[in-house]
Amino acid sequence: MGGDWFDVIGLSGARVALVVGDVVGHGIHAAATMGRLRTAVRTLADVDLAPEELLTRLDDLVIRLSAESGAGAEPEGTQVAGDIGATCLYAVYDPVSRRCSMALAGHPPPAVVRPDGTAGFLDVPVGPPLGLGGLPFEPADVTLPEGSLLALYTDGLIHARHADIGEGLDALREALAAPADSLDSLCDHVVRTMLPDHSADDAALLLVRSRALDRRRVAVWDVDAEAAAVARTRSDAVRVLDEWGLEEAASVTELVVSELVTNAIRYGDPPIQLRLIHDRMLICEVSDSSSTAPHLRRARVLDEGGRGLLLVAQLTERWGTRQTAAGKTIWCEQPLAAAGGPLTPRRDSPPHDRAVSGPRAA
């Protein structure tokens, strides 16, 4: 029993977070710590933090866990931070831009096999392991060609047979470049190659194949910061839904677009932008340059406003806010069932591949 784990977490805007982590040691203590860190990562991912910010928060948590585990066991004033060692790789893939943003905390770099078959390792700045504190984590952005294979793993996969880390990385690169019918079969091949004797050390391997969202399934409008722009934007959104074959979603989408755009005009700062994404859910996003996040509240009987976000929350499956480098984005997801049943695109609209497929642990 060890502390290696992996996770795949759906985010807003059709994005997905990919996580691999490793807690030093074995046994119940390592497994319990792994469970707490995995839960913390899921909670922080829900806040939609950037990879480097998420690792900074996770670093603080490991320091607190180390202090708690050493409380009462050391003389007063003795620093016990660092008793719990852990590494982590956190990446966010956006199928619209094909951009993958990631940050490392003392973890081995991810491997990539491009569509032409060339395999290598991404050049990502390696930050300190979790639990040291005081040192920054640096992010890296990589644009992945559609169909690229991304491999996230723990050091148990490359240290089992090779004392030299360079030899282990070379063996992993060769194993990942082998032809395979599916991600499952490739994962089996990599495990057999790297761990033929079932090493005592635990290991985790996550393989994903990148897909790109068809541009015809994304619609973007710049919105003027004036009241008259609400009606124009609402009309444009309905027109696009008709092109996507989602006419029965128009009534709900009209209300959602009206509320979110109106809030951005009244309380946000220009530039304002509306984006609709036709994925497994119908996603509506409104962005502006203000960093002030809205809060859901219940309006009193005589209040003239304050019901917009409550209406959005009641009409959609999920909604939320994420901070961006230029301000904020308010988003909501409308289930396809609300559009009159499962999505049936028009014949001129190509099928959409999922952003991630085939997670597998070893």
Contacts of 359 (CB under 8 A, 6+ apart): 6, 8, 206, 207, 208
Taking the CB of residue 134, how many other CB atoms lie within 10 A of it? 8
Distances (CA, A) of 182 to 112, 209, 277: 16, 10, 28
**Which pLDDT value is given to residue 199?**
65
**Which pLDDT value is given to residue 297?**
55
CA distance 41 to 90: 9
**Per-residue pLDDT tens listing for the chain (362 residues):** 678 899 999 999 999 999 999 988 778 888 888 899 999 999 999 989 999 999 999 999 999 888 877 654 444 443 333 467 899 999 999 999 999 999 999 999 999 999 998 999 999 998 999 988 878 899 999 999 999 999 999 988 887 666 678 888 999 999 999 988 899 999 999 999 988 776 667 889 999 999 999 999 999 999 999 999 999 999 999 999 999 999 989 999 999 999 999 999 999 999 999 999 999 999 999 999 998 876 655 544 444 445 678 888 888 999 999 988 889 999 999 987 544 333 343 334 333 333 333 333 33
**Which pLDDT value is given to residue 200?**
64
**Which pLDDT value is given to residue 339?**
40
**Which pLDDT value is given to residue 70?**
63
Give the DSSP H/E element, type plus range, for residue 79. Answer: none
**Which pLDDT value is given to residue 133?**
80
CA distance 146 to 93: 12
**Which pLDDT value is given to residue 253?**
94
pTM comes to 0.83
CA distance 342 to 56: 40
Contacts of 112 (CB under 8 A, 6+ apart): 119, 120, 121, 122, 142, 144, 148, 149, 150, 151
Do β-strands 99-105 and 126-127 pair in parallel, antiparallel, or remain unpaired?
A: parallel
Write out 273-322 in H/E/C secondary structure.
Answer: EEEEEECCEEEEEEEECCCCCCCCCCCCCCCCCCCHHHHHHHHCCEEEEE
Q: What are the structure tokens assigned to 263, written together? A: 């809030």
Q: Is 283 left (phi over 0), alpha (psi -120 to 50) or beta?
A: beta
Helix, strand, coil fractions of the chain, as percent rounded to 5: 35, 25, 40
**Which pLDDT value is given to residue 296?**
57
Contacts of 165 (CB under 8 A, 6+ apart): 108, 158, 159
Q: What are the structure tokens assigned to 214, written together? A: 């068809």
**Which pLDDT value is given to residue 160?**
63
**Which pLDDT value is given to residue 211?**
93
Question: Torsion angle of alpha carbons 272, 335, 144, 37, nearest 10°?
Answer: 100
Give the SS3 label for residue 351. Answer: coil
Strands, DSSP E only, in the chain? 2-10, 16-26, 86-94, 99-105, 111-113, 119-121, 126-127, 140-143, 149-153, 205-209, 218-223, 272-278, 281-288, 318-324, 327-335
